[in-house]
């Protein structure tokens, strides 16, 4: 597995339901949480691939992630999404975009 530093990828992403996770409120387009990938933690943004403005816990969706700094990312790499010191979501890199 090659770990080329990347800033953009598409993950398999599932915001847990209120019962499953710590995030109880929706998040909106332009949401900018912290991504923990390997040993790196970096702020990034989520871009919804459909026209929605808001995502509720438990909704399924397709997103693109754009990180502020490159991190080692490859298909199959797991990551956590954190907000205010709490893990609110997890995902797996499914497709790496060319930087």
In a domain, 17, yes or no: yes
**pLDDT tens profile 10-34:** 998 878 777 776 677 888 888 899 9
pLDDT by residue for the chain (99 residues), tens only, comes to 556 789 999 998 878 777 776 677 888 888 899 999 989 999 999 998 888 899 888 888 888 999 999 998 899 999 999 988 888 888 899 999 976
Tell me whether residue 99 is in a domain.
no
Residue 60 lies in a domain: yes
Give the largest Cα separation in the chain, rounded: 37
Per the domain annotation, does 1 fall within a domain? Answer: yes
Instruction: Return the pLDDT at 80.
Output: 92
Instruction: List all residues 6 or more positions away from 85 whose beta carbon is below 8 Å from its beta carbon.
Output: none
- And the tokens for 58? 């438990």
The number of distinct structural domains making up the chain is 1
In a domain? residue 55: yes
Residues in the chain, overall count: 99
- pTM, 2 dp: 0.86
Is residue 81 assigned to a domain? Answer: no
CB atoms within 10 A of CB 80: 15
Q: Which two tokens stand for residue 7?
A: 């800033």
Q: Are 42 and 91 in contact (CB under 8 A)?
A: no
Q: Is residue 85 domain-resident?
A: no
For residue 12, the domain's CATH number is: 2.40.30.10
| Distance between CA atoms of residues 21 and 89, nearest Å | 7
pLDDT at 99: 66
Q: By residue range, what is the domain housing residue 1? A: 1-71
User: What pLDDT score does 96 carry?
Assistant: 93
Residue 77 lies in a domain: no
């Amino acid at each position: 597995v090659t770990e080329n530093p990347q800033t953009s990828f598409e993950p398999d992403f599932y915001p847990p339901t209120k019962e499953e996770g710590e995030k109880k409120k929706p998040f909106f387009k332009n949401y900018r949480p912290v991504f923990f990938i390997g040993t790196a933690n970096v702020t990034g943004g989520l871009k919804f691939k459909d026209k929605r403005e808001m995502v509720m816990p438990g909704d399924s969706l397709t997103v693109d992630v754009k990180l502020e700094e490159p991190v080692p990312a490859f298909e199959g790499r797991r990551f956590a999404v954190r907000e205010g010191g709490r893990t609110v979501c997890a995902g797996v890199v499914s497709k790496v975009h060319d930087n």
